[in-house]
């Protein structure tokens, strides 16, 4: 029996070739700047492909994926696969701190041909703000986190294109380090108690050699050069295009003037122990002030970039049908302590759509997705059991749903192999060919 979806793919593929060429070279009339994904979406609609089954599914997936975004923790690395027949999108949520610089890279295979559209939003209680987007030119997206919070990322390939991808997200500092020493020279941190805990430390203390240089963390402007009781000789510095001011204190000598333009790495002064640091070893008190007051400067300057763990699951498993080897939980998050939202019985059929350090991303037969430990699944190589069909089991469906497409009708008492299950249905094969779903 012919499958309407496959017929749609054949028809759409013929008319899509000229459309894709237009997308890569044509223009679109817009009233505001649009991301590559939005431009492509508008051209799909303009070409009438939103009226086709696959076009409508692509548009729906773009929206629904955001509502079903899974939680990840950065650093994060994933290998995944998008099948042309499914028109899927993938979406994830993660948290980032103000002052971090996020690096998001995505590499696709094949390198030429179809694009994967990548969009990043910052979420708040009222709306989502698009902060970055790309269409996989094999170059990184880099952007500074201006406000601490939750970010949402979506990946979606062009319509009717199968593509494998590698996604990596890391975080680093948005500013350079203010001395020539490293992170190990930070010995006192933001929020530590001061003066018998009557006040909190409003910065970090970076220790070093007496009269060693303290430097500009980025291009910017010197706002003030003065002296006070706590900080001694100090310099106030505003990085270019930022809404905060950096505070350099306890200097032995200031080497810049108010209003002076400096470049990243220029020397602002020499490390000392002036002010209330006269009895301590030479160090730089480094603070960061916004309109709301002091905040932790460490995420802005921490030079350590943690690399994501290697992917554990073999990549040959991508886009393959598996079944659970035991009772297992399906998780919303890559954090194991996160509460699972579904318990899958042993033998549950799933497709591996992606893999990361500890998990595979499983797509269930009803379209649900989540993370499963990679060692809790098994290949569908041998049947779980053989059964003779009863009268109510002779109808074979395309999906585990009695309202789904009927693939064929078998005869009662036909001997079939049960490959796995999903809820109240068996996935079966007959004559060594996987054919579909029957009622249990």
Q: How much is the pLDDT for 398?
A: 94
Of 71, 73, 143, 136, whose CA–CA distance to 109 is shortest? 136
Q: Average pLDDT of 405-412?
A: 94
Residues 373-407: pLDDT tens digits?
999 999 998 999 999 999 999 999 999 999 999 99
Strands 70-71 and 90-96: parallel
Instruction: Report the alpha-carbon distance of residue 203 to residue 205 in Å, rounded.
Output: 7
On the question of pLDDT at 369 being above 90, the answer is yes
Mean pLDDT of the chain: 88
> Who has greater pLDDT, 73 or 3?
73
3-state secondary structure of 354: strand
On the question of pLDDT at 11 being above 70, the answer is no
State how far Cα 318 lies from the chain centre. 19
Q: How much is the pLDDT for 337?
A: 65
Instruction: Report the alpha-carbon distance of residue 319 to residue 302 in Å, rounded.
Output: 39
Q: Where are the beta strands (DSSP E) in 272-337?
A: 283-290, 293-295, 321-324, 328-331
Of 123, 110, 139, whose CA–CA distance to 36 is shortest? 139
Strands 70-71 and 204-207: unpaired
Coarse DSSP helix, strand, coil percentages of the chain, rounded to the nearest 5 percent: 15, 45, 40
pTM (two decimals):
0.86
139 Cβ partners below 8 Å, 6+ apart? 105
Backbone Cα Rg of the chain = 29
Q: Average pLDDT of 156-181?
A: 94
Residues 103-128: pLDDT tens digits?
999 998 887 777 899 999 999 877 89
- Does residue 110 have a cis peptide bond before it, meaning omega lies within 30 degrees of 0? yes
On the question of pLDDT at 236 being above 80, the answer is yes
Q: How much is the pLDDT for 33?
A: 72
Instruction: Report the alpha-carbon distance of residue 3 to residue 406 in Å, rounded.
Output: 10
Of 375, 370, 374, whose CA–CA distance to 92 is shortest? 370
| Polymer length of the chain | 440
CB atoms within 10 A of CB 385: 10
Of 69, 64, 196, 165, whose CA–CA distance to 123 is shortest? 69
Q: Which of 188-192, 217-221, 352-356 has the lowest mean pLDDT?
A: 188-192
Sheet holding 70-71, edge to edge: 70-71, 90-96, 149-157, 116-123, 128-134
Instruction: Report the alpha-carbon distance of residue 338 to residue 350 in Å, rounded.
Output: 21
What are the structural domains of the chain? 4-173 (2.60.120.380), 183-301 (2.70.70.10), 317-377 (2.30.30.40), 385-439 (2.30.30)
Between CA 164 and CA 175, with CA 169 as vertex, the angle to 5 degrees is 150
Q: How much is the pLDDT for 195?
A: 61
Helix (H) or strand (E) holding 222: strand 220-228
């Amino acid at each position: 029996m012919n499958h309407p979806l496959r017929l749609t793919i054949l028809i759409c593929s013929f008319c899509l070739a000229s459309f894709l060429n237009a997308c890569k070279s044509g223009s679109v009339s817009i009233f505001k700047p649009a991301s590559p994904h939005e431009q492509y979406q508008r051209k799909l609609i303009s070409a009438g492909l939103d009226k086709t089954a696959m076009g409508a599914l692509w548009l729906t997936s773009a929206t629904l994926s955001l509502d079903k975004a899974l939680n990840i923790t950065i650093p994060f690395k994933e290998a995944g696969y998008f099948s042309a027949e499914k028109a899927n999108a993938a979406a994830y949520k993660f948290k980032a701190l103000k002052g971090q610089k996020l690096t998001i890279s995505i590499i696709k295979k094949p390198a030429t041909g179809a694009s994967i559209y990548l969009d990043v939003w910052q979420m708040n209680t009222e709306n989502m703000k698009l902060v970055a987007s790309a269409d996989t030119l094999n170059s990184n997206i880099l952007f500074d986190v201006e406000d601490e919070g939750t970010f949402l990322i979506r990946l979606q390939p062009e319509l009717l294109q199968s593509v494998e991808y590698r996604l990596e997200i890391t975080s680093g500092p948005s500013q350079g380090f203010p001395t020539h020493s490293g992170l190990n020279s930070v010995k006192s941190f933001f929020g530590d108690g001061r003066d018998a805990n009557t006040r909190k430390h409003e910065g970090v203390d970076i220790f070093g050699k007496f009269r060693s240089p303290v430097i500009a963390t980025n291009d910017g402007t010197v706002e003030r050069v003065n002296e006070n009781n706590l900080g001694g000789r100090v310099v106030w510095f505003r990085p270019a295009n930022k809404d905060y001011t950096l505070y350099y204190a306890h200097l032995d000598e200031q080497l810049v003037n108010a209003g002076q333009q400096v470049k990243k790495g220029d020397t602002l002064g020499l490390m000392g122990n002036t002010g209330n640091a006269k009895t301590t070893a030479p160090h730089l008190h480094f603070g960061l002030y916004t309109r709301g007051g002091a905040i932790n400067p460490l995420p802005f300057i921490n030079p350590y970039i943690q690399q994501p763990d290697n992917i554990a699951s073999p990549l040959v498993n991508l886009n393959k049908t598996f079944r659970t080897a035991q009772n297992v939980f399906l998780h919303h998050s890559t954090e194991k302590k996160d509460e699972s939202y579904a318990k899958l019985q042993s033998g549950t059929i799933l497709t591996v759509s992606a893999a990361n350090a500890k998990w595979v991303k499983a797509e269930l037969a009803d379209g649900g997705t989540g993370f499963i430990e990679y060692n809790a699944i098994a290949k569908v190589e041998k049947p779980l059991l053989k059964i003779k069909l009863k009268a109510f089991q002779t109808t074979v469906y395309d999906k585990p749903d009695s309202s789904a497409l009927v693939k064929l009708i078998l005869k009662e008492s036909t001997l079939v192999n049960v490959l796995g299950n999903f809820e109240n249905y068996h996935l079966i094969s007959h004559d060594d060919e996987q054919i579909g779903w029957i009622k249990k």
